[in-house]
Amino acid sequence: NISIMLKLLCVTLCVLFFSAQAILKVPVTKIPGGINYRGFGDESKRAINIPLDAKSDSQYYGPITVGTPPQTFQVLFDTGSSNMWVPSVQCPWTDLSCDLHTKYDHSKSKTYVANGTKFSIQYGSGAAEGFISADNVNLAGVTIKAQQFAEITQEPGIAFLAAGFDGLVGLAFDSISVDHTTPVWYNLLNQGLVEEPIFAFWLNRDINAGPGQGGELVLGGVDQSHYTGNFTFTPLTSESYWEFSVDSIGLGSTTYCTNCKAIADSGTSLLAGPTAIVAEINKAIGATGIFTGECDQIIEQYGDQIVQWLESGVTPEQVCEEIELCPNGALCGTCTTLIYYTQMLLANQGTEKEVLSVLEEVCTLIPSPNGESTVDCAKVPSLPNINIKISGTNFVLTPKDYILNLTSAGESICLSGFIGMDIPAPYGPLWILGDVFMGAYYTQFDFKNQRVGFATAAANL
């Protein structure tokens, strides 16, 4: 765990038409580990469940306060959803995910307004449930009055245990807002609190960035110090998510899609696309599923012994214990699955050589639990660039951009920034340009002109 102090960096206020308007700059903090979730379809039903991941990405979040006197929360600013929610003091003590985060207590706020409408969003490991309330919400010194949001009394699964943020502020369109609550961004505009109907993200991808240096969200304008050159703008194709058309996505001489639908999504850490196409891209860059790598490692080290033990009548569980991978080893699950397949092959009278050969193939067929893939870190500098063409402009992702170098317990792994995610019609098939892309390109969300703009991000400012 990394302990991080968050502070407000800058608030610039001006008076226009007798109302306070501002460009709001919200510092964004980054920590290793994160959560990927996204549902598509009717937001109130969330028919598509996306698994939560607390290991393979990064979280970008910043501070807000709720109520009078203020109660402070760290929230994920998410352009892929529209609701705001924070944990409630009414969470049962048995809900550890909720218990380990800051909780809102409406009984301590003079500006709280009761509503009580039931609220539920479905995620991959369960539903986030609670009820609607209203209160004043402050971002970087500017206060939204009577903002509706959800008090969460049940958080989904254990993944939120690892989250560095307490809640979430959605920045997508009101058409996908659960319970039709007015999004925070709409209220900033309706109450005349921002100067322009534009907001922008700068995400610091420097792995050595210190506390409070994860990036910056600007509400009401852009920060010219965080990009170079000019913006390339592309019109929105849907007022739900920030959706637009991508001319093409390619690697080297191979083009993997043309006229593809895509969204810019600050709430997704990787770059997601249709599973079959992403599998081709990962294969082209030499990425293998995390499970595949672990599986190959077991075969290389213990293959002959495994076959001999099973032939002598030792059970799969005993085999994994003998090679000290179970019951508590990190590869216990991989070992158990592999031994199961080995036993099946031996039952069909395969020779030791045949069994080991087939097992190597089996390793490539068993998927990683969350679809992640890794590459050999030594080969990263020689990998090809990814080319994403938008409105005629080619946006290049270098291996440094699309490979995430993660370190845990002194060991490094290089994670592919591409992950398969099949979104059904009418929203899909869809590409999700998450933090992997937004870290390389400063992203402007232009609400008035219904467009998204991209410019080369300035590094480490």
Instruction: Please state, in angstroms and rounded to a whole number, the distance separating the CA atoms of residues 167 and 437.
Output: 24
Contact 342, 311 (CB under 8 A): no
Cis status, amide bond into 327, omega within 30 of 0: yes
Query: To which H or E segment does residue 142 belong?
Result: strand 142-154
- To the query of whether residue 206 is one of the catalytic residues in this protein, the response is no
Query: To which H or E segment does residue 365 belong?
Result: helix 352-365
Contact 310, 339 (CB under 8 A): yes
Instruction: Please state, in angstroms and rounded to a whole number, the distance separating the CA atoms of residues 304 and 281.
Output: 33
- Taking only Cα atoms into account, the Rg of the chain, rounded to an integer number of angstroms, comes to 24
129 SS3 class: strand
Contact 303, 339 (CB under 8 A): no
Single-letter residue type at 409: A
- Which DSSP symbol is given to 35? -
Contact 452, 233 (CB under 8 A): yes
Instruction: Please state, in angstroms and rounded to a whole number, the distance separating the CA atoms of residues 62 and 164.
Output: 10
Catalytic residue among 78, 166, 247, 446: 78
Instruction: Please state, in angstroms and rounded to a whole number, the distance separating the CA atoms of residues 58 and 201.
Output: 15
The CA distances from residue 363 to 293, 315, 339, 356, 421, in Å, are: 8, 20, 11, 11, 21
Burial class (CB in 10 A: 0-12, 13-18, 19+), 233: middle
Single-letter residue type at 417: G
Catalytic residue among 57, 247, 265, 401: 265
- To the query of whether residue 78 is one of the catalytic residues in this protein, the response is yes
Phi-psi region of 259 (alpha: psi -120 to 50; beta: other; left: phi over 0): left
- The CA angle 48-94-168, to the nearest 5 degrees, is 45
Q: For residue 258, how many other CB atoms are within 10 A of its CB?
A: 12
Single-letter residue type at 129: E
Nearest to 36 by CA among 163, 181, 166: 163
Nearest to 29 by CA among 57, 65, 4: 4
Query: To which H or E segment does residue 437 belong?
Result: helix 435-440
Burial class (CB in 10 A: 0-12, 13-18, 19+), 327: exposed
Instruction: Tell me the catalytic residues.
Output: 78, 265
